Structure 1
Amino acid sequence: MSIFRKRATTTLRAEAVTPSRRQLLAMGCACCVASGLPISEAVAQSAGVQRHLEAARQAAGDDLRHLLRLGEEAAPTPGLRLPSPNDLRAMPTPPPARAFENLVFLGNHWVSAWALLTSDGIILIDGMDNDAMVERDVEGGLRRLGLDPAQVKLVIVTHGHADHYGGCGHFSRRYGTRVVASEVDWQMMESGQLEFDRPELGRPPRRDISVSDGSQVRLGDTVVDILSTPGHTRGTISLIFDLKQGAATHRAMLWGGTSFNFGRQPDRIPRLQSYIDGTARARDVAGQRNIDVFLSNHSHFDQAIIKLDRMRGGGENLFVNGTATTQRALTVMHECARATMVAWTA
């Protein structure tokens, strides 16, 4: 297995129990950790905040209403109690399932891992909380689907929060799996100044493959394009790749970090602005590249568990929503972020 870089390209070659409707609606903001910045009722109801939230509602329609929970940061709903990460971790793990011929969902109700199947092994997208979680949900899930965990050649970490890198060490130690992350978040993980960390979460992986905007990660017949989308962390990356469904090929974007849980950071305003800019840019990219599948690394932001449950009896692939819907999703996120900017700077 060798690694080489060329023109900003990183290449690696290696010749359930379904929750209630009320729970699912609440999950829409489960990882939107409160910023700690008090928002007064007057600010929440101000014309500036409400103008952007109304634009988000218009973009969401009925099918993307779960993303409107991002607006809670700007206009909190009095008395709304959202389930905590521990509440979601305690729910029974849903069965693993193929969303596409070459894409497998391996997550739980708190955090997702996706396995992208290639001609030369598996690319795992995100490493979940810790060794125990990836052993149960990722290794166990792959085996249930007849796949070999030893074929996980790469883990791409979308951002440097422990619920996405915590289990990477398990794969590195057991299978020699390589780990990919942005240079910015490698620096953050190495610094020890971790933004999302608790004793039960795994330690950051050792520095390995670094990528930046415009990089490509290759394994076998599969190419993953790297899009820099900072904000959620300073080095968050989103991923673009092709998916197979019979004779059809679909193009997916997996958004790397959705919520605005950086409200206590001194640079919160520039970070939120980078999120606003990133969603606008990604919306343009989605149109240019005909991206018709929009994914997340938390199932409450792409409704993955709900969709997979509904697909178990066959029928249409509910992940294929069309380019216009991908752009609407990014618009909802963009407008909720703009509403939050108005609220934070009022």
Structure 2
Amino acid sequence: MPIPNHLALGLAALCATLAGCSTPPAAPPASEATVMAHLAAAQQAAGTEYPEYLNLCKPAPLKRPDAGSVDLAGLIARPAPPPGAAFDNLIYVGSAWVSAWALKTSDGLVLIDALNTVDEVERLIVPGLASQGLAPADIRTVLVTHGHGDHYGGAERLRALAGATPPRLVMSALDWTMTETQLEFASPIWPAPPRRNPARDLAARDGDLLRQGDTTVQLHVTPGHTLGTISPVFEVRAGGRTHKALVWGGTSFNFGRDLSRLDAYIAAADRMREIARREQIDVLLSNHPANDLTVKRLAALRANPAMANPFVIGNAGVLRTLTVISECAKANRDRFALMP
């Protein structure tokens, strides 16, 4: 599916404003040797400690997959993990396949992603919040990391459950445009995308700050997985210590042989690595729990609440993981470039 002109122009304008999209030093021409070099760099960065994202190094699909080719019903039906606190102010209320993180502030919750469906809201998010003494009415903001149905599907239901004060929805300006015009992926399983209320909802741009109570969330637009993927950064607390967390907002290469899209993805990963280095980010989360071992790590915390928090991988771990993501993207870019 080609990128609509208005979205392509939006991506170009976005890249013009981001340091990460500036022209990088000339890379050697794509070859089998450069592919192997990127794969080796990814493997070295992963080591034995951070292998989760190495799946990205597998050859990406040549064509954009159709949503109907994915067993969404089967993924949604997988038994969900128990909800739980990854940090004192960050609660997992997601499924086995897709994440929903509730960030506690002094003025209610910021919910990061809204799962697939109305049923998941009522079956997972609502009871998950209740297990922590919280309710949908506590949600002041729903931050949708990108405009795919597995992340916005429950948003309208959450607004309805909130009562007289529905939460504002936050999505990037580019992804609001995509969901309001031409969806990249559609499935009858997913509800229609949420409708933006310009008076209340936020069309975020790179560098915007989302302030709620005592909490500030940095909104970094990291194009690639979608043109307007948001990767938020915020503080989390555990054991009397404060850490800085990054949620990598969109992971897979689900757009086929699109070199400009891969270049944007690479630039975003490299830029976020530099931001992580500068800000000493030491927690890297995902909106799909397989990528950050959410289920395993929550189970470990339940079994031993006094243990060192397994979500804290240190700044070096974050930098190495972002290197894996970038190098796998570069390997796939060079594979595509070699094709006739």
TM range (shorter): 0.7 to 0.9
- Is structure 2 residue 259 aligned with structure 1 residue 269? yes
Where does residue 190 of structure 2 map in the other structure? 201
Where does residue 172 of structure 2 map in the other structure? 182
Question: Please, which moves more after superposition, 289-298 or 141-150?
Answer: 141-150
The one-letter code matched in structure 1 to 2:267 is: D
The one-letter code matched in structure 1 to 2:176 is: W
Q: Assess, with a 3 A threshold, how the Cα gap between structure 1 residues 70 and 84 changes in structure 2: closer, same or farther.
A: farther
**Aligned mate of 1:337, from 329, 334, 337:** 329
Deviation at 1:74, TM superposition (A): 5.1
**Aligned mate of 2:282, from 278, 288, 292:** 292
**Aligned mate of 2:52, from 58, 66, 70:** 66
Measured in 2, the distance between the counterparts of 1:316 and 1:88 equals 31
**Aligned mate of 2:210, from 194, 217, 228:** 217
Matches within 5 A, 1:65-144: 65-73=51-59, 85-144=72-131
Question: Please, which moves more after superposition, 336-345 or 135-144?
Answer: 135-144
* Deviation sequence 1:59-86 (CA, Å, 0-9, x none): 001121121000112599xxxxxx9544
Report the identity percentage. 47
* Deviation sequence 1:169-204 (CA, Å, 0-9, x none): 00112211210000000000000x111220011211
Question: Please, which moves more after superposition, 284-293 or 240-249?
Answer: 240-249
The one-letter code matched in structure 2 to 1:125 is: I
Measured in 2, the distance between the counterparts of 1:63 and 1:309 equals 19
Gaps of 5+ in 1: 1-43, 77-82
Measured in 2, the distance between the counterparts of 1:331 and 1:84 equals 30
Matches within 5 A, 1:286-325: 286-313=276-303, 314=305, 315-325=307-317
Q: TM-score, normalised on structure 2?
A: 0.83
Measured in 2, the distance between the counterparts of 1:91 and 1:273 equals 34
SS, match of residue 243 in structure 2? strand
SS, match of residue 187 in structure 2? coil
**Aligned mate of 1:51, from 33, 37, 60:** 37
- Is structure 2 residue 149 aligned with structure 1 residue 162? yes
Number of residues of Structure 1 aligned to a counterpart in Structure 2? 293
Q: TM-score, normalised on structure 1?
A: 0.82
**Over aligned residue pairs, what C-alpha RMSD do you find?**
1.8
Where does residue 327 of structure 1 map in the other structure? 319
* Deviation sequence 1:105-132 (CA, Å, 0-9, x none): 1111110000000011000000110111
The one-letter code matched in structure 2 to 1:205 is: P
Contact 1:240 1:252 (8 Å CA) reproduced: yes
Where does residue 10 of structure 2 map in the other structure? none
Where does residue 150 of structure 1 map in the other structure? 137
Contact 1:74 1:339 (8 Å CA) reproduced: no
Contact 2:73 2:189 (8 Å CA) reproduced: no
Where does residue 240 of structure 1 map in the other structure? 233
The one-letter code matched in structure 2 to 1:229 is: T
Where does residue 20 of structure 1 map in the other structure? none
Where does residue 17 of structure 2 map in the other structure? none
Gaps of 5+ in 2: 1-29, 63-69
Measured in 1, the distance between the counterparts of 2:260 and 2:159 equals 34
* Deviation sequence 1:294-330 (CA, Å, 0-9, x none): 0000001111111111111221100011111100010
Deviation at 1:210, TM superposition (A): 1.1
* Deviation sequence 1:35-57 (CA, Å, 0-9, x none): xxxxxxxxx99322221111100
Measured in 2, the distance between the counterparts of 1:259 and 1:305 equals 20
Measured in 2, the distance between the counterparts of 1:295 and 1:152 equals 20
